[in-house]
Amino acid sequence: MEFEPKQHDDAVDKVLAALRDAVPPEGMEARIAQRLAQPRPVQRAASRWRDLLTGSNLAGAWVRGALTGAAVASIVIAATLLLHRPIQTTTDHSKIAVHESVSAPTATPVSASPRTTPASAPRSAPCVSPAVPRIREIAPAPTGEKLLAEETHNNTAAPSHPAPALSLTPQERALVRLVHTSDPKDLAPLTPEMHAKAQAQDEADFDRFFATPASPSSSQHNE
Amino acid sequence: MAAIGEQSLRWFSAEEVEAEPDLATLVRDYSALLYRVALSVLRNSAEAEDVVQDVFVRVLQRQQELARINEVRPWLVRIAWNLALDRRRKIRPEQMDEIFAESLVSPGLPADQALAEARRIRQVLAAMERLPKHERQALLLSAMDELSTPEIAAILDRTESSVRSLLFRARARLRERIQD
C-alpha cells in the first residue's frame, strides 16, 4: 500500500500534535509531591564508593583515573627497579676489577692501598674521596686464576673413594653370558680335561653309529 | 564539611533565598511540560512520569543551586531530556511505538483505514528515531508549544538560526525517508 506525500505530512503533524497535546496522568503532581516529601535516603559510604568507582559522574572519573594512574606508576617503578638492579651490580664489579688490575702491577697489597680506609678509622668517619669505592667494605670479585686454584684445592682435599667399576670387555661379556647359560658343551672348551672327555664321547658316538649292526641270528640266539 | 555547609548557608541566606523558586511551584508549573518532553523520547506514559519524578528529585538534591539558575525552564527540560535518554537505553522504544501508534489512530475509523493509519504513524516514529540526534531533538522540542525558539536554542546550546536550520533539515529528511 503506497501512501501519498500529504498523508505522510499529516502523519508527522499528527504525531507532533499528539506529543504536544499529551496530558499527564491524573494525580501525577500529587505523586511527585508525595515522593519529594519522603525523607531523602541517606547515602551510605559503601554506595558512595561504588558510585565513585562505577558511576559516570565527573568525580567517579577522577577517582578511577587516579587509581589507574597510581597502579601504572607502581608497576613502572617496580619494573624499573627490577631492570636496574643487576646492571648496577655488574657496574660495581667492573669498577672493582679495574681497580684491581691497576693495583696488581705495583704489587701493592690491597690493605696497604692509600685509597682504602685504615682499619683503625671509625666506620662512621666520612670517606676522604666519596667517589672512590671503599675496597675494604666491598668483597673483591674472584678472578679466573683464583677460581681455578680454589677448585684444584677442593678436589685435592676431597676424601678419596674407590674407583667406579669399569665397563666389561667383549670377552668378559661372552664369559658372563656362557656362565649364565650353564651349558656343559659350551663350557667344555674352557678346560682341557672336559674338552678331551667331550671329544672322546663324540668319537665313541661316531663309532657306535657306524659300527656294523649285530646279526639277527645272533640276536635270536641270545634271546 | 561543616565549614563548607556554613559557607553555603551564608551565601544563600540573603536575598537570594527569597528569589529561590519553591519546589512545589516548580512541580505545579513544569511537570506537564516535562512529562511531554519525556513522552516524546520514551513514548510511554508510565516511564515519562517516572522521569518527571526523577527530575524533581534531582532538583531537590541540588536545591541550593536553584538560585543561581537564570533560565529554569530550559534547565529542567535539559535534565528531563537527559534522564529520558538514560531510561530509554533500558527499555525498547520499538515496543512502545506499537501502543503509541494505536493510541493516535482516530476512533471511529473503519478497521482497514485504522490499520493503515497506525502503520503510517509507526513509519513516522521509526523515521524520527533514525534522524540525527540534534535534528530529532529540535523537532521534538519544537512540538512543545511552551518552548520558544530561543529556549530551544538554550536547551540545545546553539543559536536560534541553527535551531531553525535543524528544524528545516529534520522535516525535509523525515519526508524523504518516509517516502522511500
At A127, is the pLDDT very low, low, confident or very high (cuts 50, 70, 90)?
very low
- B50 to chain A: closest CA residue: A32
**Interface with chain A: mutation pick from B41, B47, B50, B53, highest number of A CBs within 10 Å:** B53
**B62-89: per-residue pLDDT in tens?**
877 777 777 888 889 999 999 998 888 8
Shortest CA gap A54–chain B (Å): 16
Residue B36 and residue A29: Cβ atoms within 8 Å? no
Whether the per-residue pLDDT at A60 is higher than 80: the answer is no
Cβ of residue B172 closer than 8 Å to a chain A Cβ = no
Whether the per-residue pLDDT at A164 is higher than 60: the answer is yes
Q: Which comes out higher in pLDDT, residue A126 or A82? A: A82
**Nearest residue, CB atoms, B49 vs list A9, A20, A28:** A28
How high is the pLDDT of residue B168? 92
Across chain A, mean pLDDT equals 68
Q: Count contacts between A and B (CB, < 8 Å).
A: 90
Torsion angle of the four alpha carbons B110, B111, B116, B122, in this order, in degrees rounded to the nearest 10 = 120
Phi-psi region of A140 (alpha: psi -120 to 50; beta: other; left: phi over 0): beta
C-beta neighbour count of B119 within 10 angstroms: 15
How high is the pLDDT of residue A152? 82
Looking at the whole model, is its pTM more than 0.95? no
Q: Which ipTM did the prediction report? A: 0.75
> DSSP letters along chain B, please?
-HHHHHHHHHHTSSHHHHHSPPHHHHHHHHHHHHHHHHHHHH--HHHHHHHHHHHHHHHHHTGGGGGG-S-HHHHHHHHHHHHHHHHHTTS-HHHHHHHHHHHHSPTT--HHHHHHHHHHHHHHHHHHHTS-HHHHHHHHHHT-TT--HHHHHHHHTS-HHHHHHHHHHHHHHHHHHHH-
**A167-215: per-residue pLDDT in tens?**
888 888 888 887 776 566 666 667 788 888 888 998 898 888 887 665 5
**B10-55: per-residue pLDDT in tens?**
444 444 444 456 788 888 889 999 999 998 888 888 889 999 999 9
At A86, is the pLDDT very low, low, confident or very high (cuts 50, 70, 90)?
low
C-beta neighbour count of B169 within 10 angstroms: 16
Distance CA A212, CA A66 (A): 120
Residue B175 and residue A5: Cβ atoms within 8 Å? yes
Distance CA A157, CA A187 (A): 48
Distance CA A92, CA A186 (A): 74
> DSSP letters along A35-96, please?
HHHSPPPPPPHHHHHHHHHH--SHHHHHHHHHHHHHHHHHHHHHHHHHHHHHHHHHHHHHHH
C-beta neighbour count of B41 within 10 angstroms: 24
Distance CA A113, CA A129 (A): 14
At A90, is the pLDDT very low, low, confident or very high (cuts 50, 70, 90)?
very low
How high is the pLDDT of residue A209? 82
At B9, is the pLDDT very low, low, confident or very high (cuts 50, 70, 90)?
very low
A1: chain B residues, CB-CB within 8 Å: 116, 119
Whether the per-residue pLDDT at A2 is higher than 90: the answer is no
How high is the pLDDT of residue B72? 84
Which positions ≥6 away from A30 have C-beta within 8 Å? none
**Chain Cα centroid distance, residue B155:** 10
Name the amino acid, one letter, at A74. S
Kindly state the average pLDDT of the residues A18-23: 85
Kindly state the average pLDDT of the residues B7-12: 40
How high is the pLDDT of residue A180? 73
Distance CA B106, CA B139 (A): 23
Kindly state the DSSP code that residue A190 receives in the 8-state scheme: G
**Interface with chain B: mutation pick from A2, A6, A20, A32, highest number of B CBs within 10 Å:** A32
In 3D space, the residue among A58, A24, A39 whose CA is nearest the CA of residue B60 turns out to be: A39
